[in-house]
Amino acid sequence: MEDKELKIVKTALAMPEGMQRRTFLKLASAAGISMAMTPAMTRLAEAADIMRPTLASTSYNRAIDFFRIWEDGFNGANGAFETDPKYYYSEFDISRTLSQIRSMPAAGVKGLAGVITPTGAIPQVSRLCAENDIMFTPTWDTPDWWSPVDEGDHVVSLVTLDSVRDGYEVAKLLFDSIGGEGKVVHIKGLPAPTDTYRTLGLMKAAEEYPGIEIVGGLRADWDRDKARQVMLSMFAAHPDMKAVFAQSDDMAFGVISALRERGMKDVKVAGVVGLPEGIQEVQKGDYFVATATNVPTYMAGLCSTLLFDAINGWKPTLGERMLYVGSVMVTQENAQTMLDKIYGEGDSFDWAKMSRTLNPEDWDPQYEVRSIDPDQLYASAETERKLNPVYDGAAAAGEFSKVDALYAEHYKTGPLKS
């Protein structure tokens, strides 16, 4: 009897769309299995109605290291959920993205995660997903005062980084590396909210260091070659520079290339993103003194989990509609540890354990996740507050603090748990 049970369980769990309960009952009856629910049959019953749909990722292109590593996490999570991943690339063309979304129903896509450019197209993308019955978890940037609540239930949650905090913490490490005094060249990325927030973090840190002078402020569009060209102009304008704050690791690499060409060994550099190449550069201990690792594998896995759970009936609370994931400040002292824990062999996270569909009582986010109060997120917006009125009084009612406490309570394990 046990062999029959296990065969039924194995067959049912292998089905990509799950089983309807009535089909399960017929199978059990045909096999002569008692409906008394043995452990194996209980597992089958719980899994019978779980949908395992096709989930899709959208990004600029795979040539960008962040998105290549993002795909590692997306693949891992989809493997754990027994869902089928598909990948789409916008090449910075919103018309291409819209066309791809229209084609997704024919490919069986039920969930979409990733970054949309330009940021202002997110409402349009959200509505197109709703029209095509696709759940959506956007990442990174949003238009000022926008929230998933504006678009209804098809937009599950926004997942992003606390870029003000990242800029602030990395900048302090950079300032400390030069003794808290001197000129610091600032190199910006593309004009987008993430870039603005990192600048705010840098300037907040500079206010605490009266001996620091921020200069430059030119854009290199997240590109290392452009950052190298910016640095060539900075050598003439500020030959007495002590450090460079580049708002992405890729731009930091361009800066370091220019510094090495000039033999300027005493100029220190910091960046943000913390991909393996950046962490390895920090580990060398010469130019690159600090970065903030954003763990793109985790961002992709969390987005996949939110989609999987929402498709299976889970509904986020108001405080879960916009979420920060954590960052880790990387210096030479902890660089090897971060490489081993985040980018070592195999999956660093137990993706299935993150799911509330699969683990309704003991789900575990395995990393820092915090609620976003949109009034705080958009505090620097130059436009008048136009936030969905559902947020009025939300902070006072504890909507955000309750989510923070919930995720902290369930955060039991994970590579960076300490």
Per-residue confidence band for 71, with pLDDT thresholds at 50, 70 and 90: very high
Residue 166 pLDDT more than 80? yes
What amino acid is encoded at 374 in this protein?
Answer: P
d(C-alpha 145, C-alpha 386), whole Å: 6
Q: Work out the pLDDT band at 62, boundaries 50, 70, 90.
A: confident
Which stretch of 28-32, 127-131, 151-155, 161-165 has the lowest confidence by average pLDDT? 28-32
* Alpha-carbon dihedral 302, 304, 305, 306, rounded to 10 degrees: 90
Q: What is the 3-state secondary structure (H, E, C) of the chain?
A: CHHHHHHHHHHHHHCCCCCCHHHHHHHHHHCCCCCCCCHHHHHHHHHHCCCCCEEEEEECCCCCHHHHHHHHHHHHHHHHHCCEEEEEECCCCHHHHHHHHHHCHHHCEEEEEECCCCHHHHHHHHHHHHHCCCEEEEECCCCCCCCHHHHCCCECCEEEECHHHHHHHHHHHHHHHCCCCEEEEEEECCCCHHHHHHHHHHHHHHHCCCCEEEEEEEECCCCHHHHHHHHHHHHHHCCCEEEEEECCHHHHHHHHHHHHHHCCCCCEEECCECCHHHHHHHHHCCCEEEEEECCHHHHHHHHHHHHHHHHCCCCCCHHHCEEEECCEEECCCCHHHHHHHHHCCCCCCCHHHHCCCCCCCCCCCCCCEEECCHHHHCCCCCCCCCCCHHHCCCCCCCHHHHHHHHHHHHCCCCCCCC
Task: Please tell me which residue, 99 or 345, carries the higher pLDDT value.
Answer: 99
**Sequence-distant contacts of 130-133: CB under 8 A, at least 24 apart:** 130/154, 130/155, 132/101, 132/102, 132/104, 132/105, 133/105
Q: Which residues pair with 88 in a beta bridge?
A: 58
CA–CA distance, 355 with 77 (Å, rounded to integer): 10
Residue 70 confidence (pLDDT) above 80: yes
The answer, yes or no, to whether residue 170 has pLDDT greater than 70, is: yes
How large is the average pLDDT for residues 114-130? 95
The yes-or-no verdict on residue 240 having pLDDT over 50 is: yes
In this prediction the pTM is 0.85
Q: Which amino acid is at 103?
A: S
Average pLDDT, the chain: 89
For a pLDDT cut of 90, what percent of the chain falls above it? 78
For residue 64, pLDDT over 70 is answered with yes
Comparing 209-213, 248-252, 317-321, which segment has the lowest mean pLDDT?
Answer: 248-252
Per-residue model confidence (pLDDT) at position 186: 98
Q: What pLDDT is recorded for position 18?
A: 43
For position 253, what pLDDT does the model report?
94
Q: Which residues are CB-contacts of 168 (< 8 A; sequence separation ≥ 6)?
A: 201, 202, 204, 205
Contact present, 182 and 188 (Cβ < 8 Å): no
Is the pLDDT assigned to residue 132 strictly greater than 60?
Answer: yes
- Check residue 410 and give its pLDDT: 98
pLDDT tens column, 1-49: 445 555 555 555 444 444 444 455 456 555 655 544 444 444 444 555 7
Q: Quick one: average pLDDT of 139-157?
A: 96
Q: Is a pLDDT exceeding 80 seen at residue 181?
A: yes
| Mean predicted confidence (pLDDT) in 106-135 | 96
Q: Which class for 94: exposed (0-12), middle (13-18), buried (19 or more C-beta within 10 A)?
A: middle
Across the range 59-63, mean pLDDT stands at 85
Instruction: Check if the beta carbon of residue 211 is closer than 8 Å to that of residue 242.
Output: no
Mean pLDDT on 374-388: 93
Higher pLDDT, 330 or 37: 330
- pLDDT single digits (tens) 337-374: 999 998 887 778 999 999 999 999 999 999 999 999 99
pLDDT score of 52 more than 50: yes
11 or 308: which carries more pLDDT confidence? 308
